[in-house]
Amino acid sequence: MDCIFCKIINKELNSEILYEDNKMIIIKDIYPKANIHYLAIPKKHISTHMDIDYNDQELMGYIHLVINKFTKEKGINSYKLVMNCGYEAGQRVFHIHFHILSGQKFGEV
């Protein structure tokens, strides 16, 4: 499959992996849009938020718990968590991921 994030997960493409377990990774975004910009990515290839299935409930909850633990360990206590869904919304990599944005002040949305 021609998916950048699957390639990163399979170590076919280099990336700065900050966290990894059997279900997910957290990497540094290569083109950061904030002072701190990480991406939390499940190892399972799911194209968009709309493709999340009932079978993925545990995985989706798990990702949030790891993000909690990861940000706490980094001393981050305020962050914006973003998932773009669909091209019009700004999604460019069609393998779901949460943007973890921090290290600065943001607007309200």
Binding site for ligand AMP (CB under 6 A): 4, 15, 27, 29-31, 39, 84, 90-93
Cβ 9 vs Cβ 20: under 8 Å: no
Measured from the CB atom, is 31 or 54 closer to ligand AMP? 31
Select from Zn ion, ligand AMP, none the partner in contact with residue 30, using the beta carbon and a kind-dependent cut-off of 5 to 8 Å.
ligand AMP
* 64 given a catalytic annotation: no
The single-letter DSSP state of residue 108 is -
Select from ligand AMP, Zn ion, none the partner in contact with residue 84, using the beta carbon and a kind-dependent cut-off of 5 to 8 Å.
ligand AMP
Q: Using only the alpha carbons of the chain, give its radius of gyration.
A: 13
In whole angstroms, give the CA distance from residue 100 to residue 33: 10
Least distance between ligand AMP and beta carbon 19 (Å): 14
Q: What is the helix (H) or strand (E) element at residue 102, kind and residue range?
A: strand 98-102
Residues that bind Zn ion (CB under 5 A): 3, 5-6, 45, 95
